[in-house]
Amino acid sequence: MLTTAPIRTSADADDATLVRALVDGDRHAADALYRRYWPDLHRACLRITRCPDDAADAAQDAMLATFRRLPQLDPETLNVPAYLKVAGRRAALDRLEQRARTRTYDDHEHDLADPTGDTDARAERSDQTAKVHRALAELPERQREALIRAAWHGEDVPTIAAGMGLNCNATSQLLHRARRGLAARLAA
């Protein structure tokens, strides 16, 4: 918990000092870490979500989740930017999945409101959509991210590679494994 009497850690302090101070309740340490890492974290989330609002929410979720986890981590060995990058990727992918589920439910409600549509076809589409979402959720995180960026956002391999910090060959292989894994899960 943050105390009312902050220690007032300098923003110039190293990450380990800021982490220790934050764990001890220094709200200025939280502010210093936030200011230091927010811009890069937000940009990373924006590359995944392609939506400024979702990116800001995902970056905020990642920052808060990291701050909550700090008391359990060793400040001397913690790589704060790497930890935030992973937390940001997870939060951004969660936002994408949430957006996809919302869109699916909204589409389904629209279908139900259409009295001229074929009820059996709507039910089958809804069932297929649910199967795809379950199969997608079972994929490893990086494969899921690459596939979502390619399928939902229409990004090409070089764009995905740049956003994920990979080269084009590794990205193509990752997409291939993701598509193969998704197909196998859907066939099962």
How far is 30 from 122, CA to CA, in rounded Å?
A: 49
pLDDT at site 138: 87
Domain extent listing, the chain: 1-113, 118-188
- Pick the range with the lowest mean pLDDT from 24-33, 102-111, 124-133, 174-183: 102-111
Residue 118 has pLDDT above 90, yes or no: no
Which tens digit of pLDDT belongs to each residue from 39-75? 999 999 988 888 888 888 999 999 999 999 999 999 9
Which tens digit of pLDDT belongs to each residue from 6-15? 455 676 899 9
pLDDT (average), residues 165-170: 86
Other beta carbons within 10 Å of 178: 22
Tokens of 111: 């279908």
3-state secondary structure of 4: coil
pLDDT-derived band at 108 (thresholds 50, 70, 90) equals very low
pLDDT-derived band at 130 (thresholds 50, 70, 90) equals confident
Tokens of 188: 């099962």
Architecture of domain 118-188: Orthogonal Bundle (1.10)
How far is 142 from 28, CA to CA, in rounded Å?
A: 34
CATH 1.10.3720.10 fits 1-113, yes or no: no
Q: What is the largest CA-CA distance in the chain?
A: 66
Contacting residues for 80 by C-beta, under 8 A, at least 6 apart: 15, 19, 33, 37, 66
How far is 71 from 104, CA to CA, in rounded Å?
A: 39
Residue 59 near residue 45, CB atoms below 8 Å: yes
Residue 169 near residue 158, CB atoms below 8 Å: no
